[in-house]
Amino acid sequence: FFIIFSVVLLPAPAFASFSDVGEGHEHFAAVQWMEARSVITGYDDGTFRPEQTVNRAEALKIILLASGVENAGGEQSAPQGGALPDVKPSHWFYPYVQKALELKIVSGYPDGTFRPERSVNLAEALKMLYLTQSVTLDPAVSSLTTPPYHDVPTTAWFASYAADAKAKHLIEARSDGDLHPDWPLTRGDLTEFVYRFSYIKNLETTAFPVGLNWPLVQHPTQPLAFKVPFGWEVIWGAEEPGGDPSSVILWHRDAWANQAGWDRTTPNSAVMMFSLDSNPENLSQIAYFDRARK
């Protein structure tokens, strides 16, 4: 069996800043990145609470700070766009809202309120981020002919943002294959897609490498290590009745369809199987792959 090694420069070991976002958490890298740049903070008990929904004020702060907007959170001499009755100078979010109003990133409701405590959904957060970054959308996503997701028609006001974010791997569909853009956004999800945007901007890449932060799994008995997408299960061949100890099964369970096992496929499930070849004939690397190509 031949192993091809790739040499990479690894950063110094990272340590969890929050007790509820450990190294194995799907948002660990995003939270570390944003916490190191003072974009996010945790709670007094040492938690980050990634599953907690985020409101308009919190989302605005994270997006403005992550985007490097000048004077975000600083003093404002006068209200921008008129005084909002539910956004007062004594509120912690006052300078962020004023800055966003000044930049025309957000606006108030018809009744003159801002409703800072109202939960924000993915569609709204995407628009905030894209407007803050002054992103010019590609003409291909500005005039869509195909829906980017089943539940995002081309006529939706946020369809272009969703299509662009999908192409750049900033967002991903839920386990049922839909985006659910109207679902309340969690702190973890918001931090994740803002982190991904910051990553491709800082490294000047066209899209976020989705497998970058997937956990690395080492085979218990074979010289093999591989990355596994978050949410996928790993089944070793030795655990299956009559299974091959050198084989591995990667399984994405379709919870929406109540899928019970990897051997029953459903529309949103996925299974990958592979096994190691010990090369009993002791062929050279060139001969081995030449035979495989034939």
Longest dimension (CA), the chain: 80
User: Which pLDDT score, from 0 to 100, does residue 79 have?
Assistant: 52
Q: Are 144 and 160 in contact (CB under 8 A)?
A: yes
User: pTM of the predicted model, to two decimals?
Assistant: 0.83
Which residue in 96, 118, 98, 121 sits closest to 109, CA to CA? 118
pLDDT computed for residue 7 by the predictor: 39
| 3: confidence class by pLDDT, cuts 50, 70, 90 | very low
pLDDT at residue 14 greater than cutoff 90:
no
> Mind listing the pLDDT tens digit for each residue in 15-50?
668 999 998 899 999 999 999 999 999 999 999 999
> If you average pLDDT over residues 126-143, what whole number do you get?
88
Instruction: Show the tokens assigned to 34.
Output: 């944003």
Q: In the predicted model, is pLDDT for residue 5 greater than 90?
A: no
The confidence band for 11, taking pLDDT boundaries of 50, 70 and 90, is very low
Kindly list the distances between the CA atom of residue 102 and the CA atoms of 18, 106, 132, 257, in Å, as whole numbers in the listed order: 34, 9, 11, 46
Considering Cα of 49, then 51, then 53, then 58, what sign does the dihedral take?
positive
- Say if CB 148 and CB 163 are below 8 A apart: yes
Q: How far is it, in rounded angstroms, from Cα 246 to Cα 71?
A: 57
Max mean pLDDT range (163-172, 222-231, 267-276): 163-172
Residues 52-107: tens digit of each pLDDT: 999 999 999 999 999 988 767 666 545 555 568 999 999 999 999 999 999 999 98
**243 vs 130, which has greater pLDDT?**
130
Q: Are 131 and 161 in contact (CB under 8 A)?
A: no
Here the tokens at position 43 are 């709670």
Is the per-residue pLDDT at 152 higher than 90? yes
13, pLDDT greater than 80: no
